[in-house]
């Protein structure tokens, strides 16, 4: 359970992290040549220098509003530091120390989730492929539905915006990750492993422990104490993107649709698909699959 872990984690580390080493000894055969394969890499400048600049800007201008604004998708009020942490360009411990000094409690709590999932995977390595808490799921094998979800053509604006952000940027806002993952697993009934695999293919911050831990949390096979929770993508849109700013940023065919209409499933424009599944029907089917 995360909360007791967090309480034990907070007093477990004190003081500043170690300073920057004067030199590094590379392993034999290692190269410093930058990778060129990932097309998303050009959208995010890599390296410690870029990560340090972003960290300083975040601690100065962004941290104070994180607690209240981190779920506001349209405002994009998150740090965007996860790729730098993932590749070792920014130390999560150093970041936690500085954020704690500035009373960034909500942000520090999110950093704790990283350690929590890392320790969970260390203790339960089989969860890379196996459910931590099996629920007897009867997964749906439907390649067409899976591809529709990957392409961001589900007919649910918030889901589609998240999937297109992932495709275009190699990154996705955390709230959107929860919604799109819940939609795949609980609305469409498709195995969480398929979603985790797709995320790994595209995410710049695709950390094994975080990706697996979060997908199992959403699927209800991991550490979530409410395994049957479903995120309603329409209700979430009204809550976290009421003006439709985030949706219109990534789904341009909805740019001229009034915000109130975005939250009403149906034919929004001739260029945009109708919802591929009815929410109420999806809830009933999910309960049936889970034997509830």
170-196 tens-digit pLDDT:
999 999 999 999 999 999 999 999 999
Helix ranges (H only) for 124-230 are: 143-151, 157-169, 174-182, 192-202, 208-219
Q: How confident is the model at residue 33 (pLDDT cuts 50, 70, 90)?
A: low
What pLDDT is recorded for position 55?
A: 96
What pLDDT is recorded for position 41?
A: 46
- Confidence check: pLDDT of 210 > 90: yes
Is the separation of the CB atoms in 282 and 154 below 8 Å?
Answer: no
Dihedral in degrees, nearest 10, Cα atoms 33, 35, 36, 38: -170
What pLDDT is recorded for position 292?
A: 65
* CB proximity list for 156: less than 8 A, separation 6 or greater: 183, 233, 234, 265, 275
Report pLDDT digits (tens) over 68-98.
Answer: 988 999 898 899 999 999 999 999 999 999 9
pLDDT > 70 in the chain, percent: 95
Residue 152's alpha-carbon distances to 148, 184, 271, in angstroms, are: 6, 11, 13
Report pLDDT digits (tens) over 3-15.
Answer: 999 999 998 876 6
Domains of the chain, start order: 2-18+35-127 (1.25.40.80), 143-289 (1.10.579.10)
What pLDDT is recorded for position 254?
A: 95
Q: How confident is the model at residue 291 (pLDDT cuts 50, 70, 90)?
A: confident
- Confidence check: pLDDT of 66 > 70: yes
- Confidence check: pLDDT of 108 > 90: yes
| Mean of pLDDT values over 154-176 | 95
Tokens encoding 4: 């007791």
What pLDDT is recorded for position 7?
A: 94
């Amino acid at each position: 359970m995360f909360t007791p872990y967090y309480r034990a984690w907070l007093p477990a580390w004190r003081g500043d992290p170690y300073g920057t080493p004067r030199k590094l000894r590379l392993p034999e055969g290692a190269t410093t040549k930058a990778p060129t394969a990932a097309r998303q890499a050009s959208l995010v400048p890599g390296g410690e220098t870029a990560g340090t600049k972003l960290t300083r800007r975040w601690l100065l201008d962004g941290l104070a509003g994180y607690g209240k604004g981190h779920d506001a998708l349209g405002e994009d009020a998150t740090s965007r530091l996860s790729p730098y942490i993932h590749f070792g360009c920014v130390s999560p411990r150093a970041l936690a120390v500085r954020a704690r000094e500035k009373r960034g409690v909500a942000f520090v709590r999110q950093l704790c989730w990283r350690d929590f999932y890392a320790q969970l995977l260390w203790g339960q390595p089989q969860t890379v492929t196996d459910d931590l808490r099996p629920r007897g799921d009867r997964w749906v094998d439907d390649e067409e539905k899976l591809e529709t979800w990957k392409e961001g053509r589900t007919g649910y604006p918030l889901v589609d915006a998240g999937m297109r952000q992932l495709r275009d940027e190699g990154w996705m806002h955390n709230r959107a990750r929860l919604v799109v993952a819940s939609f795949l697993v609980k609305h469409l009934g498709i195995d969480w492993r398929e979603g985790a695999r797709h995320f790994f293919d595209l995410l710049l911050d695709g950390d094994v422990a975080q990706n697996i831990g979060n997908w199992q949390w959403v699927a209800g096979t991991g550490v979530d104490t409410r395994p049957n929770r479903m995120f309603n993508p329409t209700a979430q849109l009204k809550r976290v993107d009421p003006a439709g700013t985030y949706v219109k940023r990534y789904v341009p065919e909805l740019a001229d649709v009034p915000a109130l209409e975005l939250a009403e499933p149906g034919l929004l424009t001739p260029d945009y698909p109708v919802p591929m599944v009815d929410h109420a029907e999806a809830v009933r089917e999910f309960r049936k699959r889970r034997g509830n």
